[in-house]
Structure 1
Amino acid sequence: MTAHTPPSQPRVPNWMLVVLMAMYTGFAIPVSIVALVQSLFFGVVIVVVLAYFWTQIPAMLLGRNAPMAEAVGEVVPQMPALAPTGNASFDAYRAELIDRLERERTDFDTFVTRLRASKDKSEFDRFMDARANRGAA
């Protein structure tokens, strides 16, 4: 998940990214509370603006147009590979469960893709009927 950083913009160290995000949080929360107490309308506007900039901080600091999850993924260590626990039955159960969840996720993604592709109500109804018949069989 290594992203290419343009050479023209220096990369901010991970520890600095974490510190700057913590400082922003320490600023944004009190400002939001005070703004909401003073005026509900302006408080909501300020909360929305601060929330928007919260999602943009990592991209700005890393010098690219990165979504929040990708930028935070570079700071937070990735989960280690699932190593065997020594309990064969648990390892088999875990492997089967992970495989089943991945199949269900694939099926769900396919379902959502087909659902979004439905152009009109009759096509949608045919699709749902076919899905219900397939599930009942």
Structure 2
Amino acid sequence: MSSVATWPSQAENWLDARGKGAWIAAMILGFIVFWPIGLALLAYMIWSKRMFNGNCKSRGHLRTMRHGLKPTGNQAFDAYKAETLRRLEDEQDAFEKFLQRLREAKDKAEFDQFMDQRANRRDQDPAEDDGGPVTI
């Protein structure tokens, strides 16, 4: 019974190892054999973000890098590796925060420019409100 329970995960791993093209081929084959199978594969590919996250092969490597850091047996190297990874994650977080502040500053500058242009239009033609003529 355990082999029946594991065949979906084995199939998923097999397809991941071969990349996005294998997933697309399996989906097309599913549509040819019985359209609900193809539809189910398409829904799964979208839901699991396999369609939009680059190559499926890299997903397993990222999972191993983040969660499966195997100790080498050398404590000094393992400590160095852990510290370096922690420092890199901190730098990545700091950079993402910097990008967020940059986006917010750009949005504010664009909004201020819009408000200045709108105020200049009103100053030039007081009959206009929000860019359109006022009718009474």
**How does the TM-score come out when normalised to structure 2?**
0.41
User: Which structure's CA Rg is the greater one?
Assistant: 2
Higher relative contact order (CA 8 A, sep 6+): 1
